[in-house]
Amino acid sequence: MRVLVTGGAGYIGSHTVLQLLAAGHQVVIVDDFSNAKPTVVNRLETLASQPLTVHAFDVADRDRLDALFADPAAPIDAVIHFAAFKAVGESVAKPLDYYRNNLGATLALAEAMLRYDVRHLVFSSSATVYGESAPVPMTEDLPTSATNPYGWTKVMNEQILRDAVVAHPLLRVALLRYFNPVGAHPSGQIGEDPAGIPNNLMPYLAQVALGRIPKLSVFGDDYDTVDGSGVRDYLHVEDLAAGHLAALEWISTHDRPLSVWNLGSGQGTSVLELVRAFERASGREIPYEIVARRPGDIATSYADPSLAERELGWRTTRTVDDMCVDTWRWQQANPHGYPS
């Protein structure tokens, strides 16, 4: 298939692009490079040993999308949609930007798909749609909610696509709710490259290990967990990318209009457990201090991934230690992330 990957130069998108190419698919990337760097494309081409088709524009640009979908020499067969703003804190400070960008991109993309009879879409959703009071393990039939504008854009985009498949029953849509993607490609050539101080724990740990950040703040040690620190479900980005391929294959061969799958390990790892795993991987001590809980944080969050295993034949295969080793390899090789 020729697969359009929006946000294909981003963290999860780039790993998925490599796996699509390895599986024999043709890939077209659309990315405005607001959250990615062109260097990523060069590295993907080197790793894949082939040139890539890349279009640098905002997915919400309907005219550019029309030109892409209308090209008779390169018809699009399916879409994997990653492109979105994704920082929770920034979404609270700039909610209108997030609603305009994240909803506008999905609307423009879905409308283009309908105009050009492209029927298969895999959407990058998130476990944030379960809100802050969902029981664990989290199952796909739980009600959806959110605690910040970023999370609400995922909830709203899911609803947009649910309504679209009702009105257009030939569409086949997968909503992938993933938990905490971490790790990097085993080559160390592509990985997570946050702008500024990382918002997520794993890249923060990597920069503490490098000495770029003096210490980690652990938000609370009095939760009802194994060691008092918060527990989350981490999965390797390579396993996550494989989940997108499995979902694409499934919706291409089944008639169910809408499918929802959790992508997670089904196991929780505490902050302090992850600190110790990263110390093992890096051979370096991770200085940390216990500070007050953050408002809105929950004690424990992890997936029930059994539906994805049952229907897609997908499950995680890499351990937390593997995630830390691959993250450290990437960070050592790229201490300042991708060059500009």
Catalytic residues: 150
Residue 70, SS3 per DSSP: helix
To 10 degrees, what angle do helices 11-22 and 237-253 make?
60
Element (H, E) at 124: strand 120-126
CA distances from 126 to 52, 158, 274 (A): 28, 10, 21
Task: Catalogue the E-assigned strands of 187-264.
Answer: 216-219, 231-232, 234-236, 258-263
In the sheet that holds 172-178, the strands lie side by side as 53-55, 26-30, 2-6, 78-81, 120-126, 172-178, 258-263
Burial of 185 (0-12, 13-18, 19+ CB in 10 A): buried
139 token code pair: 């199952």
Residue 302: closest CA among 218, 234, 256: 234
CA contacts within 13 A on the Cβ side of 291: 9
Q: What is the CA radius of gyration of the chain?
A: 19
CA distances from 252 to 3, 7, 25, 261 (A): 12, 21, 13, 15
